[in-house]
Each structure stands twice: as structure tokens, then as C-alpha cells.
Amino acid sequence: MNKYVIKGGNILSGDVSVSGSKNAVLKAIIAACLTADTVEIKNIPLISDLFIMLELVKEIGGKVKLSGHTLKIEVQDIKSVKIPLEIGAKIRTSSIFLAPLLSRKKEALIPNPGGCRIGARPIDRHIEGLIRMGATAKYDSLDGYFHLKTRGLHGSNYKFEKNTHTGTDTLIMAAVLADGRTILENAAEEPEVDDLIALLNSMGAKIKRSKPRTIVIEGVERLHGTTYEIMPDRNEAVTFAILSALTGGKIFIKNVEMQNINGFLSIFKKVGGDWEKKNSGVRFYINKKIKPTNIATAPHPGFMTDWQGPWAIFMTQAGGDSTIHETIYENRFGYVNELTKMGANMRMYSPIVKNPETFYNFNYYNGEKDHMQGLKIHGKTPLHNAVMKVSDLRAGATLVIASLIARGESIIYGVDYLERGYESFDRRLKTLGADIAKTEEEEFLE
């Protein structure tokens, strides 16, 4: 496991470019498997999740060629319908291979993507939709695979019971070659879904958003190759924006798509933050006391769950009490224990919610366990160094931000998680003036 050693307190300044979006590129790779032609994808983030997905493309018989930040994928014929457990179980998006496998080979074996550190993350909403489109599905707990078959996917009207970002991605990609029209209702509005729609339409698909949360797909015979540039990463943009505001406000972030982070901008402004746009980018800063506030995460266009970790750090520096109510995942506060080691004054609590079964985006089972979906943060608390361990990707970014503003030298183990979603994070922070070093290290002993 790699570790970061960070000396906090430096003012950071300079330009940083936001990479291509992890949550767009992982689906673009799968979209490329829907055609026998070559698909070229630009603005690829060189993150470990990308390489896992390219392994899977090769496993099903595809050819991949990566040069710099441009990727070429060609899946002339799918030679295997099985996504191997040892690779597939590492990454949530392995389940989306269901779409090209069922569309082109009428069969798919995918490992249960299973829970991870942020929640159960089942794919029941994906499977239900595929069954409506003419697939049969069974989960074999002995081999740990979902077994799906179809005589041919057909169009269907399907309403998601609750928002699902990758569920929407999966059913769009299952519908583009299906026989007839598919109407997806209560479909996700995340901008990464729009990026996928734009890519697929450039490959000859016929997809449009007809009204809010409704997507209409007319099945076509085949898709053709294309060249497509991935959108910038919204999570990176917000991570660097919060970092800038906390370290002197002198970081210019290049290629931020402001329209995709309105859920953050409105709250940032409310607590006293501001930004300046210049040709080289956007500089986020705060020149006054940070005001405390209460937020609840929500599907797009709300405050995104992936932003709440970095936001929690921001609120430790606000003058007063703030809260974060996490409504998307059951276990998204993996960073809290680590931050309390740094002197953060925060504790989890159970917000009173009238109908948790419908209010929460995850599948809520009454009394299953005491859902601590709320975090109370008291500020302003100066943070000091600590030895910490990363629990999940976005919690990792949270610990790095905290260490960069804390007094003293902090050590963060398990930064491999971070590298799943942030390309050369340490190198980019160093160019901004951070005192950060990465070294190989033994597994952190609890």
C-alpha cells in the first residue's frame, strides 16, 4: 500500500487542470463494446479504475490501445460473456458490461459487484429493468455470479423505483440496440449520463431526454465507430475548489464546467465563498469568516454525495455548527474517525426522517441497523497532524485536504484508493506548492 507524508500549512497557488471524468469514462469504455467498429475516446484520466476496465474489455475479446490520454477500443467480436470475478468484483462498473454482452451475445455472467466501503450498492434496479426488456436473470450464490440470458432485448417502458446513476447508464446501453422503443422514467439526471448519451448518439444511437427524468431510446440495428472527448471530472473540480478556498484562494482550476457543479456553487456562495473566472480557469476563494450551514446530499442537480467529504473539512473551519445529511449511501462517513484524530470536532447522529424508505436513495430496511446518516460539525477547529488510513476514494481526498491545512506532518496510508479516481494527485498538489511525498509502505497495522 502506498502512503502520503504531508506537511500542512503551505499556501497553495498555481494552475491545475481537471482530468477527464472517471464516472463518464468508465461507461464510455462499455459503450465502445456495443459496436464492432473502432471507438476513439479522448481526455482519458489515467486512473487505476480505467486500467481495471480495460482488462475487462480484453477479457471479453476486445483490443485496446492507450496513447497518452487517448484510448482506442475495438471489440470486433465478443469472445467471452463472462466477467471474471477476481477482476470484476473490484469495480462497480463491471456490472454495466451486461448491456453489450446481452445485446451482442444474448448472454452474460457478471460477478455480484457487491457492497463496498460506502454501502451495499446492489444492482436490483438494473436487473429489474433488464428483465422488463426480455432478459432472464438468476443469482447463483455458489459461484457468486449473476447469470442473464435473452432471446433478444426489446424496448420497454420502465420506471426506476429510485434514482440510480449507473442503473440509468446500463439500461440506456441495453436499449440502444434493442428491438423497438424504450422509455426510462425517473431516470438519473447526472451530467455523466448526458455525456454517455452524447457519445452513443455520435455512434448512431437515437436517444433523447424528452422531459425531466425521462429518456426515450429508439432501438437501431447497429452502432458505428466515433471519436469522442470525455467531459471534465466534477468531483475533481469541487475537490480543488474547496482546497483552494482553504489554502489561500490562489489555485486556478482549468476546464471546470460550472453548469455541472451548481449544487456546490450555491452552497459555497451561501457560506461566504466566491470565485473569479479568468481565461486560465476559475479561482475559488473566501475572504471572510466561513459561515456554518446545513446540507443534505441528493441526486443531481443537488449537492452530490461525492462532495460531502471535502465539504466536511470546509465546515470544520466555519465559525459555528454545521450538519451534513447523507441520503445516497448508508456508509459514507468513513473519514470521520480519521478526522477526529486530527482534532476535528464532529460526531454522527440519526436525523429524524418521516419516511426513510422513500427519503433515502439506498434501499432502507427498517431497523436493519441504526442508520447514522447525519454528521454534526463544530467549527472553527484548528487541525493537527495524525496517522490515518483511507477507507474509500472520496474519503481519501478528504484526508489529504485536511492534512494540507493541518499543523505538522501527517501520514495517510492506503492512498491506492485515491489513485482509483485522481490521476497523479500527489504530483499535481506538489506543483501547487504542497509539501507532499508518496512512498511504498507496509500495510498499516490497526
Residue 303 interacts with ligand EPZ (CB under 6 A): yes or no = no
CB of 2 to ligand EPZ, least distance (A): 19
Residue 255, amino acid: N
Residue with Cβ nearer ligand EPZ (166 or 398): 166
329 is an interface residue for ligand EPZ by CB under 6 A = yes
121 binds ligand EPZ (CB under 6 A): yes
In this chain, which stretch among 209-217, 258-266, 273-281, 300-308 interacts with ligand EPZ, using CB under 6 A?
300-308
Report the residue number, 23 or 156, with the smaller CB distance to ligand EPZ: 23
Site track for ligand EPZ across 377-406, x = CB under 6 A: ----------------xx------------
Each residue 407-436 as x (binds ligand EPZ by CB under 6 A) or -, in order, gives: --------------x---------------
104 near ligand EPZ, rule: CB under 6 A: no
92 binds ligand EPZ (CB under 6 A): yes
How many chain residues touch ligand EPZ (CB under 6 A)?
Answer: 30
In the range 211-250, which residues lie near ligand EPZ by CB under 6 A?
A: none
- Annotated active-site residue 116? The verdict is yes
Return the range that interacts with ligand EPZ (CB under 6 A); candidates 68-76, 101-109, 165-173, 203-211: 165-173
- Retrieve residue 420's grid coordinates: 482509483
User: Of these, 114, 122, 272, 433, which contacts ligand EPZ (CB under 6 A)?
Assistant: 122
From 116, 296, 298, 348, active-site residue: 116
Q: List, by residue number, the catalytic residues.
A: 116
Give contact residues for ligand EPZ (rule: CB under 6 A): 22-23, 26, 92-93, 119-126, 163-167, 190, 304-306, 328-329, 361-363, 393-394, 421
